[in-house]
Amino acid sequence: MLFFTAYANKKFSVLERHGMAVSREEVVSAAGSPDTLDDTKKPLFFARKKGSGGRTIGVVYKNEGKLQKIITFYPL
C-alpha cells in the first residue's frame, strides 16, 4: 500500500505553481518501478525514473511494514 505524507501531498501544488507539475501517477511509477534505486541511507530509499518527455522524477520513501511511505519527490 502506498501513502503520501502531508508534505508530499502539498508538494504537488507547490511544483504546479512554479510550472513544474508532477502527476501522482509519475510519482507512483517512479517509486514502484524505478530505473535506479539507492538504498545506502536506509531506512530511506531514493528512487529515480525517467518519464515521458525525458524528464526524470526522484522520489524519497521508506517502507514501514507493508506500507510504502512517500516522503518527498522532485523533478530532475
pTM of the model: 0.92
Instruction: Report whether pLDDT(73) > 90.
Output: yes
**Domain region containing 16:** 2-75
What are the grid coordinates assigned to 4, written together? Answer: 503520501
Over the stretch 14-67, which tens digit does the pLDDT of each residue have? 999 999 999 999 999 999 999 999 999 999 999 999 987 789 999 999 999 999
Average pLDDT of span 5-11: 98
Average pLDDT of span 72-76: 95
Q: Domain count of the chain?
A: 1
Residue 73, C-beta contacts closer than 8 angstroms, at least 6 positions apart? 8, 11, 22, 27, 30, 57, 58, 59, 60
pLDDT, residue 53, reads: 77
Q: What share of the chain is helix, strand, coil (3-state, %, to 5)?
A: 30, 40, 30
What are the grid coordinates assigned to 67, written together? Answer: 506500507
